[in-house]
């Protein structure tokens, strides 16, 4: 398994960024790409067919298939990870993955539901691939193989937890939507629970059962994920970024950022600015 590229795009709306990231293109023979959409709504064009895209959905594109995010169809800002990878011929594990991907393509169902917490596994994979050594990149490739088996190994597509969350607990779904809308605000578990008409204790227990982490942990990771994109995309100071996402002060922000990413905000900016070649505007 070889990863060719990993891209993180944060709240894509329009203009040159959308024209670049949403350009109509295809990948080389043997190369697959999936988009893991974190939030937003829009449409993907694949071989002249239009597919609906939205948060917590995974969209697969095969070799030689022309595709693009349709600019006129982006209803809400899209955030996503895109991973371009190439299974290796002769590898038994990769051959099994190829069989799973072929089954999905032939079924005509390119979109599957995934667990909301899987976004953080993609965040880790992105950091390993973009900033790491060859050893780290190899670790990213092994991680990708595990995710592909988990996502596509189910004949019906999607993980069981992902499908339960997609059609199941409305309280958790509403909480996740509120967190995504409020990523720049200070929002406690009690406030979220009150808005849902639940006790804080019951809400935390319900959330942890579905997501495997507390609401506070999940909301903090959302903030750090968004802050990491801002650090790379513009020249705001560390203090400005900390204030934008509701942290008490730059020191608190730096401490939490390092805990989540293993790097300080300053180190993250130094390493990742320019690392993603496809993030830049076209010449």
User: Is residue 281 in a domain?
Assistant: no
Angle formed at CA 111 by CA 225 and CA 87, multiple of 5 degrees = 80
Q: Are both 68 and 117 inside the same structural domain?
A: yes
Predicted TM-score (pTM) of this structure? 0.78
At residue 81, the pLDDT reads: 92
Question: 145: pLDDT confidence band, cut at 50, 70 and 90?
Answer: very high
**pLDDT per residue as tens digits for the range 180-204:** 888 998 889 999 999 888 899 999 9
The secondary structure of residue 197, as a DSSP letter, is: T
At residue 156, the pLDDT reads: 52
Q: Are both 65 and 88 inside the same structural domain?
A: yes
* 21 and 10 Cβ atoms separated by less than 8 Å: no
Question: 228: pLDDT confidence band, cut at 50, 70 and 90?
Answer: confident
Q: Are both 24 and 159 inside the same structural domain?
A: yes
Angle formed at CA 98 by CA 25 and CA 84, multiple of 5 degrees = 35
At residue 275, the pLDDT reads: 54
The C-alpha atoms of residue 12 and residue 69 are separated, in whole angstroms, by: 10
Last-in-domain residue among 108, 140, 163: 163
CATH number of domain containing 77: 2.60.120.280
Q: Are both 207 and 147 inside the same structural domain?
A: no
Average pLDDT, the chain: 84
Please name the helix (run of DSSP H) or strand (run of DSSP E) that holds residue 57, with its range, or none. strand 57-61
- The mean pLDDT value for 123-137 works out to 87
User: Is residue 69 in a domain?
Assistant: yes
CATH number of domain containing 250: 1.10.10.60
Q: Report the domain count for the chain.
A: 2
154-161: which pairs have CB atoms within 8 A and are 24 or more residues apart? Answer: 155/103, 157/104, 157/107, 157/109, 157/112, 157/113, 158/58, 158/112, 158/113, 158/114, 159/113, 159/114, 159/115, 161/115, 161/210
Angle formed at CA 262 by CA 134 and CA 188, multiple of 5 degrees = 140
Q: Are both 60 and 134 inside the same structural domain?
A: yes
**pLDDT per residue as tens digits for the range 53-108:** 888 899 999 998 888 888 778 888 889 999 999 998 888 989 999 888 888 777 77
Asked if pLDDT for residue 272 goes beyond 90, the answer is no
Q: Are both 135 and 180 inside the same structural domain?
A: no
Q: Are both 122 and 229 inside the same structural domain?
A: no
At residue 132, the pLDDT reads: 72
Residue 42's domain spans which residues?
A: 2-163
User: Is residue 131 in a domain?
Assistant: yes
Asked if pLDDT for residue 147 goes beyond 80, the answer is yes
Q: Are both 118 and 233 inside the same structural domain?
A: no
User: Is residue 23 in a domain?
Assistant: yes
Q: Are both 95 and 187 inside the same structural domain?
A: no
Residues 6 or more apart whose CB falls under 8 angstroms from that of 234 comprise: none
At residue 166, the pLDDT reads: 40
**In the chain, pLDDT over 90 holds for what percent of residues?**
29
Q: Are both 92 and 228 inside the same structural domain?
A: no
The C-alpha atoms of residue 57 and residue 110 are separated, in whole angstroms, by: 10
Last-in-domain residue among 163, 193, 213: 163
Q: Are both 126 and 182 inside the same structural domain?
A: no
Asked if pLDDT for residue 142 goes beyond 80, the answer is yes
User: Is residue 282 in a domain?
Assistant: no
Q: Are both 14 and 136 inside the same structural domain?
A: yes
């Amino acid at each position: 398994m070889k990863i060719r590229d990993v891209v993180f795009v944060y709240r894509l709306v329009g203009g040159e960024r959308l024209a670049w990231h949403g350009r109509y293109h295809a990948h080389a023979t043997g190369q697959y790409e999936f988009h893991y959409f974190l939030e937003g709504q829009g449409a993907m064009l694949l071989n002249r067919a239009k597919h609906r895209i939205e948060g917590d959905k995974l969209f697969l594109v095969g070799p030689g298939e022309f595709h693009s995010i349709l600019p006129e169809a982006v209803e809400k800002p899209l955030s996503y990870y895109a991973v371009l990878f190439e299974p290796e011929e002769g590898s038994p594990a990769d051959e099994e993955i190829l069989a799973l991907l072929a089954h999905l393509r032939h079924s005509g169902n390119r979109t599957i539901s995934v667990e909301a917490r899987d976004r953080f596994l993609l965040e880790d994979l992105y950091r390993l691939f973009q900033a790491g050594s060859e050893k780290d990149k190899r670790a990213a490739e092994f991680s990708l193989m595990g995710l592909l088996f988990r996502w596509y190994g189910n004949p019906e597509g999607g993980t069981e937890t992902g499908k339960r969350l997609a059609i199941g607990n409305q309280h958790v779904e509403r909480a996740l939507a509120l967190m995504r809308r409020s990523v720049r605000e200070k929002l406690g578990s009690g406030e979220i629970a009150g808005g849902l008409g639940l006790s804080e204790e019951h809400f935390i227990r319900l959330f942890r059962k579905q997501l495997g982490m507390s609401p506070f942990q999940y909301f903090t990771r959302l903030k750090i994920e968004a802050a990491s994109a801002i650090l790379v995309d513009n020249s705001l100071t560390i203090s400005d970024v900390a204030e934008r996402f509701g942290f008490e002060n730059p020191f608190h922000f730096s401490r939490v950022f390092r805990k989540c990413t293993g790097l300080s905000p300053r180190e993250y900016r130094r390493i990742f600015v320019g690392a993603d070649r496809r993030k830049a505007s076209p010449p």
